[in-house]
């Protein structure tokens, strides 16, 4: 089965600025793929190319087995889309909005739409313009789930929402979209860490890392070596060990290819005078801070 999203050599330039630069991405069927990165990393630009709002300067995106530049109503009937900047027809009531959308989707499920409005506590008689930002996001998500899409694209959907509303949106999404492929972009790891099955880190228009969340956790470790005195770093420093920090007889670094058998042996060989070695798992936030810092060093930034 082909991947619902595949990008090959995708670039998008705005004059001299490369918002997306040679990006390669494949999102597995049925996954919840979190696209993480700082503001300005190119996440929104990429999502807009996936739904043909923007066209690539180079390369191409394939969505649901179709070149994104040639998406038709047939494909859009299978794609849900929610964005933090999404504009809704504020003069419509919630009920009118859902009724208006129904004819565009042959798989529209009236029962599910009713369940979602009740679950999200959306008052059908209220105009969209009268709703808080959190309730507008609930209305947008309800309208995207009601036709059982095969693919859901969420562009910073939780940004600026309080914790309760965010948790309600996530719970509704996970319960009602089981088996659906979901791509969610965010600059806040805390929003997606608990439910993403796959994760990609995007920085400066490039995808720096893309893999299953569990595998990412397995291969990153924070290591601290305590020495009797300050020691000279070994010349055969492994490439998978990040630039070390030294202070008062302690060397700290991050191993991005941790192996329970190889790593302790490699540490012992390089630090034979070590009096203590601490190896700690890392949170997703710590992992991506490390990746971001490494990316800045490669680009010569501070």
Q: Spell out a b/e string for 56-95, using b for 16 or more CB atoms within 10 Å of the CB, else e.
A: beebbbbbbeeebeebeeebbbbbbbbbbeeebeeebbbb
Question: Rounded to the nearest 5°, which phi and psi values hold at 9?
Answer: 60, 35
Where residue 39 falls among pLDDT bands split at 50, 70, 90?
confident
d(C-alpha 162, C-alpha 172), whole Å: 16
What global pTM score does this model have? 0.87
Residue 198: predicted pLDDT? 94
d(C-alpha 240, C-alpha 238), whole Å: 5
User: Domain boundaries in the chain?
Assistant: 5-216, 221-281
Which two three-digit tokens encode residue 191?
Answer: 């929003």
- CATH architecture of the domain covering 5-216: 3-Layer(aba) Sandwich (3.40)
More confident residue, 205 or 163: 205
Write out pLDDT tens, residues 243-285.
788 888 899 999 999 999 999 999 999 998 899 999 999 988 8
Length of the chain: 302
For residue 27, what is the enclosing H or E element? strand 17-27
Write out pLDDT tens, residues 214-230.
999 999 999 999 988 76
């Amino acid at each position: 089965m082909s991947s619902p999203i595949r990008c090959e050599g995708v670039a998008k330039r705005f004059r001299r600025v490369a918002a997306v630069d040679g990006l390669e991405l494949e999102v597995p069927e049925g996954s919840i793929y979190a696209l993480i990165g700082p503001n300005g990393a190119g996440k929104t630009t990429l999502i807009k190319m996936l739904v043909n709002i923007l066209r690539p300067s180079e390369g191409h995106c394939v969505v649901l087995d179709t070149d994104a530049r040639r998406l038709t109503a047939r494909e859009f009937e299978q794609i849900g889309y929610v964005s933090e900047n999404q504009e809704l027809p504020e003069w419509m009531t919630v009920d009118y909005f859902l009724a208006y959308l129904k004819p565009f989707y042959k798989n529209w499920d009236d029962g599910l739409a009713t369940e979602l409005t009740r679950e999200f506590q959306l008052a059908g008689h209220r105009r969209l313009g009268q709703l808080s930002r959190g309730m507008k996001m609930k209305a947008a998500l309800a309208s995207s789930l009601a036709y059982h899409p095969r693919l859901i694209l969420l562009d910073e959907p939780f940004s600026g929402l309080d914790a309760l509303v965010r948790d309600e949106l996530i719970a509704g999404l996970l319960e009602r979209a089981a088996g659906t492929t979901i791509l969610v972009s965010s600059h806040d790891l805390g929003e997606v860490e608990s439910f993403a099955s796959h994760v990609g880190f995007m920085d400066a228009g490039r995808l720096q890392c893309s893999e299953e969340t569990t595998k990412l956790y397995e291969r990153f470790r924070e290591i601290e070596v305590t020495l009797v005195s300050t020691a000279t770093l070994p010349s055969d420093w492994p490439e998978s060990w990040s630039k070390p920090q030294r202070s008062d007889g302690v060397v700290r670094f991050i191993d991005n290819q941790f192996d329970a058998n190889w790593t302790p042996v490699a540490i012992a060989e390089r630090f034979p005078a070590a009096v203590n070695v601490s190896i700690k798992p890392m949170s997703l936030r710590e992992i991506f801070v490390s990746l971001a810092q490494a990316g800045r060093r490669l680009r010569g930034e501070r």
